[in-house]
């Protein structure tokens, strides 16, 4: 039995949380649907909770956030230290969106606000062949981001990519960590809400196209399965 520690790096407003759940609850639904034997703990760094010694944990998942990894927030350097310690101890770690960018930055990559603007709605990514984590040739998942990894850490392999997001998925050199830019934990309703929140901040045509794209199927379950398989398999091996 695997216990996954979810690091909550972002909060939803009360109305959205009541309807869709918190970010950790979204991941519990996604990953729990793939493996009901998994147990979850939540550490809310955004609420000031202290991070444990990662070597005492079985598996780690870092959520998204409205913060940028370059923001001057007290908990971000501590979380970077935590990621580096987890990596050194080969604790299985997965990061999503902010978690993806934070892991890359902590391990030597470069992240910044992209000149490409907002990535919202359903995005389709090419899957690197033979990556050992995500199957198939392409995968479609909702995205909601403006920041991007510009340069991945040394030794990281790109396993998801698209014309809009070159480094949309990374498998890190130790083999015990991977991260993705899109949000498999977002159901269609919440992904649509994310598009609405960009109204007035992103071009109207982009928001309209993003909303329309969500009528097409997404592969949330497939990516959720890959995460569950990765975290539980690595936890059993280490």
Tens-place pLDDT, residues 220-232: 999 999 999 999 9
Q: For residues 170 and 174, what is the distance between their CA atoms, to the nearest angstrom?
A: 12
pLDDT of 236 above 50: no
Output DSSP code: residue 189: H
Tell me yes or no: is domain 3-237 CATH 3.40.50.880. Answer: yes
User: Can you give the pLDDT at residue 237?
Assistant: 41
pLDDT of 1 above 90: no
For 173-197, what is each residue's pLDDT tens digit? 989 999 999 999 999 999 999 999 9
pLDDT of 233 above 90: no
Instruction: Say how far residue 186 (Cα) sits from the centre of its chain.
Output: 11
CA atoms within 13 A on the CB side of 169: 26
Q: What is the mean pLDDT of residues 2-6?
A: 95
Q: CA 73, 74, 78, 80: dihedral to nearest 10 degrees?
A: 20
Q: What is the mean pLDDT of residues 77-84?
A: 98
User: Can you give the pLDDT at residue 196?
Assistant: 96
Q: What are the DSSP calls for 119-144, one per residue?
A: EEEEEEEEEPTT-SSS-SSEEEEEEE
User: Can you give the pLDDT at residue 34?
Assistant: 87
Is pTM beyond 0.85 here? yes
For strands 93-96 and 177-180, give the pairing.
parallel
Instruction: Provide, rounded to the nearest whole percent, the portion of the chain with pLDDT above 70.
Output: 98
Residue 169, classed as helix, strand or coil, is strand
């Amino acid at each position: 039995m695997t216990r996954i520690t979810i690091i909550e790096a972002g909060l939803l407003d009360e109305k959205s949380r009541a309807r869709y759940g918190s970010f950790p609850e979204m991941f519990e639904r996604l990953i729990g649907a793939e493996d009901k034997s998994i147990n979850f703990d939540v550490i809310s760094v955004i609420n000031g909770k202290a991070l444990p010694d990662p070597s005492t944990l079985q598996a780690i998942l870092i959520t998204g956030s409205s913060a940028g990894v370059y923001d001057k927030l007290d908990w971000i350097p501590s979380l970077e230290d935590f990621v580096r310690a987890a990596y050194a101890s080969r604790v299985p770690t997965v990061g999503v969106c902010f978690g993806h960018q934070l892991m890359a930055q902590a391990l030597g990559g470069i992240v910044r606000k992209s000149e490409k603007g907002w990535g919202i709605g359903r995005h389709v990514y090419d899957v690197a062949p033979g990556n050992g984590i995500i199957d198939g040739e392409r995968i479609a998942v909702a995205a909601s981001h403006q920041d991007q990894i510009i340069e991945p850490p040394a030794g990281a392999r790109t396993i998801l990519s698209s014309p809009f997001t070159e480094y949309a998925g990374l498998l890190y050199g130790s083999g015990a960590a991977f991260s993705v830019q899109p949000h498999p934990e977002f159901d269609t309703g919440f992904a649509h809400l994310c598009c609405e929140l960009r109204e007035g901040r992103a071009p109207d045509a982009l928001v309209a196209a993003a909303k329309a794209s969500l009528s097409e199927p997404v592969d949330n379950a497939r990516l959720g399965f890959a995460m569950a398989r990765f975290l539980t398999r690595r936890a059993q091996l280490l």
